[in-house]
Amino acid sequence: MVALAFGVFGLITGSFLNVIIFRHGARSIGGRSGCMSCGMQLPWYDMIPVLSWLALGGRCRFCRGRISSQYPLVEAATGTLFALVGASPLLLPQKVLGCAVLALLICVAAYDFKHTIIPDRWVWSFNALAFVFASAFPWHLAAGIPQGDCDFLCLGYSAWKSGALQLALLAGPIAAAPLFALWLFSRGRWMGLGDGKLALGIGWLLGPALGLLAVFGAFVIGAVVSLTLIFFSSQQWKKILRLFTPTSISQRLTLGFTMKSEIPFGPFLIAACLLVWFAAMYGVQFPFFSLII
């Protein structure tokens, strides 16, 4: 029941997050929601998370203009992630603060995916919340790892109760160092500064070793996604399509990505962070770390 309650709350929160994402830098978040095509105010029954979009077929009731698929995706993602936090073994205050962290990460991921930029206000809010979460609840994120490994993974967090604040502060810079180095050496051509700022909070949230794991995991996820997009944009894929659909449909089933296409890195960072965070939250072991101790 707790997971269900958190999931329903997440769906409602996701609807509000969409307002923040779409209106950021454009207009105030106040006021009634309206169709972005015709401007008509939406009745309450057209704003039920996920269900209204499905019932309307992704179109406005009044003008039949398309409604972005971002609405149900953000709502469903928020509901699912909140439910996972609700079902976790965390204490209630941890769950509430964890949901606030998730809400910020979802906003950052969706906005970066759409605009390839991370708003400073959001990323620094996440960094602050991540540090507060790790400070207020000095639990071992690597809960399923043997204690000897856990001390290595957490570095500062295992010593937090003895007052080693300075060690915990290092977790953010350690995780962010690779991205800041890429940004510095490439002068912003390979990596945006916003990604480095985001990695600061990931390090504070996960601890230095798991934070680094999330950062390098993001590169793996990004490589897999990028290679997949390039393949489905290639001449080889077009040849394969012509074998099965030798019509104009073949041309519409290809993408337009190349090696020079710009792909935001923030969503990959957040995806890797969430994978590591939830794995640790549910006590999934990381036995390979014992090999490097």
Show the tokens assigned to 113: 């995916």
Express each pLDDT in 184-206 by its tens digit: 888 777 788 889 999 999 999 98
What is residue 94's predicted lDDT score, i.e. its pLDDT?
A: 87
Say how many C-beta atoms besides its own lie within 10 A of residue 45's C-beta: 10
Q: Which residue has the higher pLDDT, 140 or 178?
A: 178
Q: Which residues contact 157 (CB under 8 A, 6 or more apart)?
A: 134, 138, 140, 141, 168, 171, 207
85-102: average pLDDT: 91
Question: Which phi and psi angles does 10 have, rounded to 5°?
Answer: -65, -40
Among 73-77, 238-242, 249-253, name the most confident range. Answer: 73-77
Q: Which residue has the higher pLDDT, 159 or 256?
A: 256
93-106: average pLDDT: 93
Q: Which residues contact 29 (CB under 8 A, 6 or more apart)?
A: 19, 20, 23
The answer to whether 65 touches 35, Cβ cutoff 8 Å, is: yes
Q: Which residue has the higher pLDDT, 289 or 134?
A: 134
What is residue 179's predicted lDDT score, i.e. its pLDDT?
A: 92
Question: Which phi and psi angles does 58 have, rounded to 5°?
Answer: 75, 25
What is residue 141's predicted lDDT score, i.e. its pLDDT?
A: 42
The answer to whether 206 touches 175, Cβ cutoff 8 Å, is: yes
Q: What percent of the chain has pLDDT over 90?
A: 37
167-180: average pLDDT: 85
pTM of the model: 0.83
Per DSSP, which regions of 8-61 are E strands?
A: none
Residue whose C-alpha is closest to residue 172's, from 210, 217, 214, 202:
202
Express each pLDDT in 112-170 by its tens digit: 998 889 999 999 999 999 988 877 765 444 443 444 444 434 444 444 444 446 666 78
pLDDT reading at 183 higher than 70: yes
Tell me the sheet residues that pair with 41.
Answer: 34
Residue 157 to residue 168: CA distance in whole angstroms = 6
Residue 112 to residue 50: CA distance in whole angstroms = 22
Q: Helix, strand, coil shares of the chain as percentages rounded to 5?
A: 70, 0, 30
What is residue 157's predicted lDDT score, i.e. its pLDDT?
A: 45
First vs last C-alpha separation in the chain: 41
The angle formed by the CA atoms of residues 56, 59 and 60, to the nearest 5 degrees, is 95
Q: Where are the domains of the chain?
A: 141-292
Q: Which of 41-50, 55-64, 159-168, 257-266 is predicted least confidently?
A: 159-168
- Residue 218 to residues 49, 177, 196, 223, 264, Cα–Cα distance (Å): 29, 14, 12, 8, 11
The answer to whether 283 touches 143, Cβ cutoff 8 Å, is: yes
Per DSSP, which regions of 148-195 are E strands?
A: none
